[in-house]
Structure 1
Amino acid sequence: MPILLALSLAVATRVAAVQPSPGADRAAAMAIVNAALAGVSARNEAAVLAQLRPTGTATVLMEQADGSVTVRSFDLKAYAHAVPGPERYEERMLDPRIEIDDAMATVRGRYTFATDGKLQHCGFEHFELVRDGGRWKIQNITWSVRTKNCSG
């Protein structure tokens, strides 16, 4: 019986050592999203791509002037595409919520997007992350875009 107990404790200790603490896991998932948003703000395609899995989708819901909404989905890599220009971008996520279930996480919340300090649009973002090679990576992103009722 003592051998079985020792083996059980060894396995439990090893599993516990592999699993990060819930707070650290949440911080790590949020760090990936923040790195992607910083890459978008800096127009740094490589920085954004470093946070993405090679496959995945991006979906944007665009509110039109008449109140209708268009939905467009595309390859996740296109989300990283940097458009050169002199303008300074700033995308900020406001009060994000993070949920983790083992090797899967979601980060979601309101966001604002400004160009040269002027608010351009806002909406809601939803990032789906998966643990890939021991590191969080973004698998899918969905966000809405509206130009009315925005506050930062």
Structure 2
Amino acid sequence: MKKIALFCAGLLVTSAAVAGTPEEDAVLAPVQAFFAGLSARDAAAMKAPFLPGGSMVLMRNGKPGQMTIEQFAERVSKPGTTKIEEKIHDPLIRIDNDLAVVWAPFDFYVDGKVDHCGTDLFNMVKKDGTWMIAGIADTGKKECR
């Protein structure tokens, strides 16, 4: 019975996160701005929603790859002919004062087809009344749905 109650509680939290309170929408705004910059391969747009010096940890094959947002933006913003896009779904958002996290499954598309998937974890901070990304960690795997 405890497992069922915990499962149901988790569904309620997820449903509330999807519904989007104004504060949850504000937390997600820089995440969506980052993804828009990523799709456009625009380094400045990718860096804009980040705290300066923000970092990324990309878990691949059980090994962490670490870089700054500046390094990541430089790597991704190189001209390319492929269309890239990352989409999250069912975000779980937790907010405590000026600190928040966004935990969400994602699919990464190359030319409209899923290339890899996993889970994104965004560490968020509110600076001068605006939510910003302090860091991202993600998992990445090729075996998707």
Q: Is the 8 A contact 2:57 2:137 kept in 1?
A: yes
Q: Does 1:113 align with 2:124?
A: no
Q: Does 1:73 align with 2:66?
A: yes
Whole-angstrom distance in 2 between the partners of 1:124 and 1:73:
16
Query: 2:6 maps to which residue?
Result: none
Unpaired segments ≥5 residues, structure 2: 1-19
Seq. identity, % = 32
What TM-score does the superposition give when structure 1 sets the normalisation length?
0.77
Aligned partner of 2:49 among 48, 51, 59: 51
Summarize deviations over 1:43-86 as a string: whole Å, max 9, x none: 111111110000222101002xxxxx111112232232312101
Q: Does 1:41 align with 2:39?
A: yes
Q: How many residues align?
A: 124
User: What's the C-alpha RMSD, in Å, of the aligned pairs?
Assistant: 1.4
SS at match of 1:95: coil
SS at match of 1:83: coil
Larger helix proportion, structure 1 or 2? 2
> Residues 13-24 of structure 1: matches in 2 within 5 Å?
23-24=21-22
Q: Does 1:89 align with 2:87?
A: no
Whole-angstrom distance in 2 between the partners of 1:73 and 1:126:
14
Aligned partner of 1:101 among 96, 100, 103: 96
Structure 1 residue runs of 4+, over 6 Å off? none
Q: Is the 8 A contact 2:56 2:69 kept in 1?
A: yes
Query: 2:27 maps to which residue?
Result: 29
Q: Is the 8 A contact 2:47 2:69 kept in 1?
A: no
Whole-angstrom distance in 1 between the partners of 2:23 and 2:71:
27
Q: Is the 8 A contact 2:37 2:43 kept in 1?
A: yes
Whole-angstrom distance in 2 between the partners of 1:97 and 1:70:
25
User: Which of the pair has more CA radius of gyration?
Assistant: 1
Q: Is the 8 A contact 2:86 2:108 kept in 1?
A: yes
